[in-house]
Copies of this chain bind each other. A is one copy, B any other.
Amino acid sequence: MNIYDIAKLANVSPATVSRVINNRGNVKEDTANKIKKIIENTGYIPSATARNLSVGVSKNIAFIVPDIENPFFSKILHGISDRASYYNYNVFMFGSDENIEKEHRILKSLSSDMILGILVIPVSHDDMITAQYLKEFEEKGIPVVLIDRDIRNCSFHGVFSEDEDGAYQAVKCLIEEGHKDIAIITGPTTSRPGLNRLMGYQRALQEHGIPLREEYMVSGEFKLEESYHAAKKLFALNHVPTAIFTSNNLTTIGVLQFIRESGLKLVRDISLIGFDDIDYLNLLNIKVSIVDRPIYDMGYQAMDLLQNNYLKRDENRLITQRISAKTWLVKRGSEKHILFKGVNER
């Protein structure tokens, strides 16, 4: 069943059927109705493939995500998916598993006529191969929008967040509560958010005249196990910090795991502020302060950015649109912070 069959049934040419299907106008109402009815009755669905080939444009967008199971990314995907369906776009999901070769393979496999645009949360900040691929897509008129993680020395469109400021606020809060020995479990500094959050941490300390201590900056690589061990390292120090800033959600969980396993108690033994909220944690009465941000919206907006860019992909290619989402501190159990202030001053 194709457009010719429909045309035959309606005694018109395929061109007319096509006009009706695409609401192109210039068709007598009777004719249009007749055709619509036939389409309805036969259950005919036009071939998207043929249309794509003919028009040279598809309705598909590719979303490349480094960790399918991380709820942070699921939220972004949700935002993307909702907005994409508003635009009648379909979303291809690709997981790079934080593996840069895999990311390259995915990019390489993307036949440019299958997709209208690319949304990507890149694995690395410094990866010029990925950057090269992405640039080539842009040159072909396929817009690229980065999410959450920027790529160094490039100016792709993107939706990011105020990582530096978020981290700064968190650490500042800890300082104001009386902490001086504040550690950070960093993400990979090959990722922009990892780097920026570290910078926010450092700035907060410096602005308050607290010297940076090498041993208080340990890497958790944004991963649970690594962060667990990072926490272990911190607690093995001669001078154990009184507070920790954790650079992402998995980092926070890793540290919490260590804390629980060691029989330590939040607030009493250690203060903690994390980056990114963890679902259900608050519900389950585990009160951890965190730096929050509009995650769903970031996906949603990325899709909008892509769409805008797609529509005017020929004009002003010069203007790069980059959005930076605000972050905010969510204090939980902070009364207790203050209550136990004395304890923190080891």
Contacts and interface: CB of A to CB of B under 8 A. Distances in A.
B284 A113 contact: no
Contacts of A136: 43
9 cross-chain pairs, A with B, having the tightest CB-CB distances, nearest first:
A48-B111, A260-B285, A257-B283, A93-B93, A68-B78, A47-B113, A48-B114, A49-B52, A49-B53
Given A47-B111, A53-B53, A91-B92, 5 more contacts: A71-B71, A78-B95, A257-B285, A260-B283, A278-B280
A85 B101 CA distance: 14
Contacts of A95: 78, 81-82, 85
Interface residues of A, number: 48
A281 B260 CA distance: 11
Nearest to A78: B68
Contacts of A278: 280
A45 B91 CA distance: 21
Interface of A: 43, 45-50, 52-53, 58, 60, 63, 68-69, 71, 74-75, 77-78, 81-82, 85, 88, 90-95, 109, 111-114, 136, 224, 253, 256-257, 260-261, 278, 280-281, 283-286
A71 B69 contact: yes
A92 to B, nearest CB: 5
Contacts of A257: 280, 283-285
A78 B69 contact: yes
A147 B53 CA distance: 33
Given A46-B111, A48-B113, A111-B47, A284 B253 contact: yes
19 contacts: A43-B136, A46-B111, A47-B53, A48-B113, A48-B114, A49-B58, A49-B113, A50-B113, A60-B92, A68-B78, A69-B71, A69-B78, A90-B92, A90-B114, A91-B94, A253-B283, A257-B284, A281-B284, A284-B284
A92 B94 contact: no
A286 B260 CA distance: 10
A107 to B, nearest CB: 11
A325 to B, nearest CB: 18
A93 B81 CA distance: 8
Given A49-B52, A53-B47, A285-B260, A74 B69 contact: yes
A21 to B, nearest CB: 12
Contacts of A43: 136
A274 to B, nearest CB: 13
Nearest to A93: B93
Contact of A77 (B78, B92, B93, B109): B93
Given A261-B285, A284-B260, A74 B68 contact: yes
A213 to B, nearest CB: 28
B260 A280 contact: no
A6 to B, nearest CB: 15
Contacts of A85: 94-95
A278 B113 CA distance: 40
Contacts of A256: 283-284
Contacts of A81: 68, 93-95
A278 B109 CA distance: 34
Contacts of A75: 69
A148 B302 CA distance: 32
